[in-house]
Amino acid sequence: MSAVETPAIAAGAVAPARAGVPPLTVEHVAKSYDSDGRIVPVIGDLSLTLNEGEIVAIVGPSGCGKTTLLNTLCGLISADAGRIRWHGREISGQPSGVGYMLQKDLLLPWRTALRNVMLGLEIRGVSLSEAEERSHVVLDKLGLHGFDEHYPSTLSGGMRQRVALARTLVNEPDVLLLDEPFAALDFQTKLLIESDTAKLVRESGRSVLLITHDIEEAVSIADRVIVLSKRPTRVKAVYDIALDSDRTDMIAARESHGFTDYVRRIWADLDVARN
């Protein structure tokens, strides 16, 4: 599947939160594929919870089914077994109030940065003036002031990814599903966008489920890191991340006491999971 937040999901209205109920609860979910008549298990017996205002990062061996998991959680594909609850309710199809952003920006080349950000709002029937105003605000917050009328072909990779992030955030989802959105960026740009993302979601109290192959990214940005096993994937380990730093400053997080220890322990879990 190509990597971009799906308009149908990004455009959904925000689901009302229920006091004390996690935005997302996953119980014993399993998923297999039929490959030329052979059943291939991808997700084994997997359970997790995403709490309100929490950033959770998921890491695992390459090919373990991380993207399949996200596609299952947001209703793009159906689970074979188990239960997925959004705000305490089992939902058929795609849940509302969920923004899904993947690795490639897939911006529409014939639309300016501003018009790309406005796409989901247009689908929802938001007035043109309100859509433009909201989109300008998010672009400015992501450091793109003055680039609203630029076309994707004139923007750097980092700028394009900021536009894609703005397109997701402008719809004001209460939960973000991020599938390696910073993987293709150079290190400096990655740190800047990670910091901007962390600041925006923490200030707004949004919940985030982040898929990443970068252990340092996971530890620096997340409140909790979930390590998955190889296929059929299960939860192998869970780390509550406690760093003595500003959790919106990725450099400070990497310099925090205990950061290296978390990275080494998670790496050891992944190394075992590969074997």
Q: What would the DSSP string read from start to end of 68-90?
A: HHHHHHTTSS--SEEEEEETTEE
CATH code assigned at 152: 3.40.50.300
Quote the number of domains for the chain. 1
Q: What was the pLDDT predicted at 206? A: 94
What's the pLDDT at 267? 95
Q: Which of 132, 134, 159 is nearest to 144 (CA)?
A: 159
HSE-CB at 97 with a 13 A cutoff on CA atoms is 14
Strand pairing report for 55-59 and 207-211: parallel
What pairs with residue 46 in β-bridges? Answer: 29
Distance spanning both ends of the chain, measured CA to CA: 27
How far, in Å, CA of 139 to CA of 6, rounded?
Answer: 19
Residue pLDDT, tens place only, 182-194:
888 889 989 999 9
Strand order in the sheet with 81-86: 38-50, 24-35, 81-86, 89-90
d(CA 108, CA 93): 26
**60 lies in some domain:** yes
What pLDDT, on the 0 to 100 scale, is given for residue 272?
65
Asked whether residue 2 is domain-assigned, the answer is no
Whether 145 is in a domain gets the answer: yes
Does residue 16 have a cis bond before it (omega within 30 degrees)? no
Q: Contact 14/174 with Cβ under 8 angstroms?
A: yes
Is the pLDDT at 139 greater than 90, yes or no? yes
Percent of the chain at pLDDT above 70? 92
**What rounded mean pLDDT belongs to the chain?**
89
Q: Are 73 and 48 in contact (CB under 8 A)?
A: no
> What is this structure's pTM?
0.88
Helix (H, G, I), strand (E, B) or coil at 253: helix
Q: What is the pLDDT of residue 13?
A: 39
**Which is higher by pLDDT, 158 or 12?**
158
Is residue 1 in some structural domain? no
pLDDT band at 4 (very low <50, low <70, confident <90, very high): very low
- Asked whether 168 and 117 are in contact (CB, 8 A), the reply is no
The answer to whether residue 11 scores a pLDDT higher than 50 is no
How confident is the model at residue 214, as a pLDDT? 95
d(CA 174, CA 195): 19
Q: How large is the average pLDDT for residues 60-85?
A: 92
Indicate the pLDDT class of residue 10, thresholds 50, 70 and 90: very low
Give me the domain span that covers residue 215.
7-274
Ramachandran region, residue 166 (left: φ > 0; alpha: ψ -120 to 50; beta: rest) = alpha
pLDDT digits (tens, 9 = 90+) for 210-244: 999 999 999 999 999 999 999 999 999 999 999 99
Stretch 46-71: mean pLDDT: 94
In a domain? residue 263: yes
Residue 272's region, left for phi above 0, alpha for psi from -120 to 50, else beta, is alpha
Question: pLDDT confidence of 104, banded at 50, 70, 90?
Answer: confident
Going 48 to 237 to 53 to 140, the CA torsion angle's sign is: negative
